Structure 1
Amino acid sequence: MSQPSMINRYKWYELIGIYAGILLFLTFVLAPFVEGFLVSLKPLSQLFSSPYRFIPENGSFAAYRTMWTSVPGFGWYIFNSFLISGVSTIIVLILVVPAAYAFARFEFRGSGLLLGAFLAVNMFSGAVLLIPLFRLMRSFGVLNTYFAMIIPGVAFLIPSGIWLLRTYMMRIPKELDEAAFVDGASHFYTLRRVILPIAMPGITVVAITTFIGSYAQQFIYALTFNSKTEYMPLPVGLFAYFGRQEVVWNELMAASFVGIAPALVVIFFLQRYLVSGLTAGAVKQ
């Protein structure tokens, strides 16, 4: 007789409690996004009507058409956000992959202290370091450039990337490295031809979290280190639009959803790599 699955061992009231908790959690997480999307569909006259209507009456996508002219340079703001996030992600991966491999495979003096220092970096808020970072960016002469937003973002995202990828690489059997060394492979060759194919799901996780982190933290750095419109990312561009005397809320919500849509598309196509190739190449010739 086959053993019943673990889910079947729950009683009916326990299952109700589990699914009710999941539903409550999703409600709190998704409710702001649902409300924001509905606001973007409502005519401006309904936003402050009493009693308040959750479901829009005569809703339309008119705000999605008019916001392109209401927010000057909106398309350029999206391009800047993707450029900053994309370049930051590439730089982080180039630095994190060999560093995580070194921490996962080699034992050297001070490695634990160095990892602790990396973790401590993430405990500092970016706002606390704005003045030192501003002086540093000014001394480098990179204020009002893309680098003024890329460099601080990379510095704060590298430690978490090392921790994530190091943990993943430690799960890869060391016997694979030893077999490669017996065949005369160097550490770099082993990393490139043996470890990287297996660690690709972990690298994808780091890439996604880095891209999201860079996309999310652009506001504070761009607002402090940049004053030129041509380098302005989407969060600051929307903030400038929000700072007008009259806020057109439906167009602002429409611009926000259009701005995050490309990032969601990128993440959607990358996430499929998370569940494939966990041990790809481990037993292939």
Structure 2
Amino acid sequence: MSKKTAMINRYRWYEVISIYAAIAVFLFFVLAPFVEGFLVSLKPLSRLFSSPYRFWPEHASFDAYFTMWDSVPKFGLYVFNSIFISTVVTVVVLILVVPAAYAFARFQFSGRGPLLGAFLAVNMFSGAVLLIPLFRLMRSLGILNTYAAMIVPGVAFLIPTAIWLLRTYMMRIPKELEEAAYVDGASRLYILRRIILPLAMPGITVVAITTFIGAYAQQFIYALTFNSKTEFMPLPIGLFAYFGRQEVIWNELMAASFVGIAPAMIVIFFLQRYLVSGLTAGAVK
């Protein structure tokens, strides 16, 4: 068999079938809720609970995608708030994480191991456990009912994961490049800016994407606890406030949800090649 033969061709036929069957089952359970939610958004409200169940709804239309703007008058503001909060969180995390990850990757200092372990332990706690201490902190700082009340905890909870991801990537960058620049008289800041950052850009891109998605997904609990003003509400709270008072208009709710997650989907769509390259770069020396 040729050395260039694809890895999948090295399996027996029944092993190949099993692999693709397992992938198909996994994709079904992952994608089925999204497909069903999209089909619900196409159904007229009067036919949502009709029997028997039809996979493709009768009289399907995109009317809910237009009428939901009336049901949620400030829907555009909520989407903007979610994007703004996620963008600011991502920028702040990158500014703090890049030098921190470089320090953890290159320097040996007292408490380095326990500190990394503490960062990892933070991810084991749910944000709900710290809501009361965070609320008291936000109140003492006077930033309740502001964007900062949702940005600060978002940054705090996303920094540990970002440091671990970027540190692992920077550790794969050859030290010889830095040593050569250091011998030529370059400073640490110059080395970080001119050598490390360009080489670490795929890893930084991965951290930026994962941070943006994480910040976009975790806004509900922080906004519900630390904000009560409409002008600062992100999308999850905006939908929660307008749906379910008397009844749940499911088709409009699903339509608004799909419109709301569109920004994150667009980011993933256009940056997916950087995401894949960043995850696999450095895997082989």
Question: Any stretches of 5+ residues in structure 2 without a counterpart?
Answer: none
- Which residue is 1:56 aligned to? 57
> Residues 174-196 of structure 1: CA distance to partner in whole angstroms, max 9, x if unpaired?
11111110111111111111011
Say if 1:122 and 1:160, in contact at 8 Å, map to a contact too: yes
- Which residue is 2:255 aligned to? 254
- Which residue is 1:231 aligned to? 232
- Which residue is 1:121 aligned to? 122
Q: Does residue 156 of structure 1 match 2:177?
A: no
Q: Does residue 222 of structure 1 match 2:242?
A: no
Q: Which residue identity lines up with residue 180 of structure 1 in the other structure? A: A
- Which residue is 1:266 aligned to? 267
- Which residue is 1:283 aligned to? none
Inter-partner Cα distance in structure 2 for 1:20 and 1:93: 39
- Which residue is 1:202 aligned to? 203
Inter-partner Cα distance in structure 1 for 2:243 and 2:69: 14
Instruction: State the superposition RMSD in angstroms.
Output: 1.5
- Which residue is 1:142 aligned to? 143
> Residues 4-62 of structure 1: CA distance to partner in whole angstroms, max 9, x if unpaired?
44222111110000000000000000000000000000011111112222211110000
| TM-score, length of structure 1 as denominator length | 0.95
Q: Which residue identity lines up with residue 137 of structure 2 in the other structure? A: L
Question: Any stretches of 5+ residues in structure 1 without a counterpart?
Answer: 281-285
- Which residue is 1:110 aligned to? 111
Say if 2:170 and 2:200, in contact at 8 Å, map to a contact too: yes
Say if 2:209 and 2:275, in contact at 8 Å, map to a contact too: no
Say if 1:198 and 1:279, in contact at 8 Å, map to a contact too: no
Inter-partner Cα distance in structure 1 for 2:213 and 2:2: 44
Q: Which residue identity lines up with residue 120 of structure 1 in the other structure? A: A
Say if 2:81 and 2:232, in contact at 8 Å, map to a contact too: yes
What is the deviation of 1:276?
Answer: 5.5
Q: Share of identical aligned residues, percent? A: 81
Inter-partner Cα distance in structure 1 for 2:32 and 2:245: 27
Inter-partner Cα distance in structure 2 for 1:263 and 1:189: 34
Say if 2:223 and 2:237, in contact at 8 Å, map to a contact too: yes
Inter-partner Cα distance in structure 1 for 2:56 and 2:275: 36
What SS is found at the alignment partner of 1:56?
coil
Inter-partner Cα distance in structure 2 for 1:259 and 1:54: 24
- Which residue is 1:47 aligned to? 48
Say if 2:202 and 2:281, in contact at 8 Å, map to a contact too: no
- Which residue is 1:241 aligned to? 242
| Greater mean alpha carbon deviation, residues 148-157 or residues 266-275 | 266-275
| TM-score, length of structure 2 as denominator length | 0.95
- Which residue is 1:167 aligned to? 168
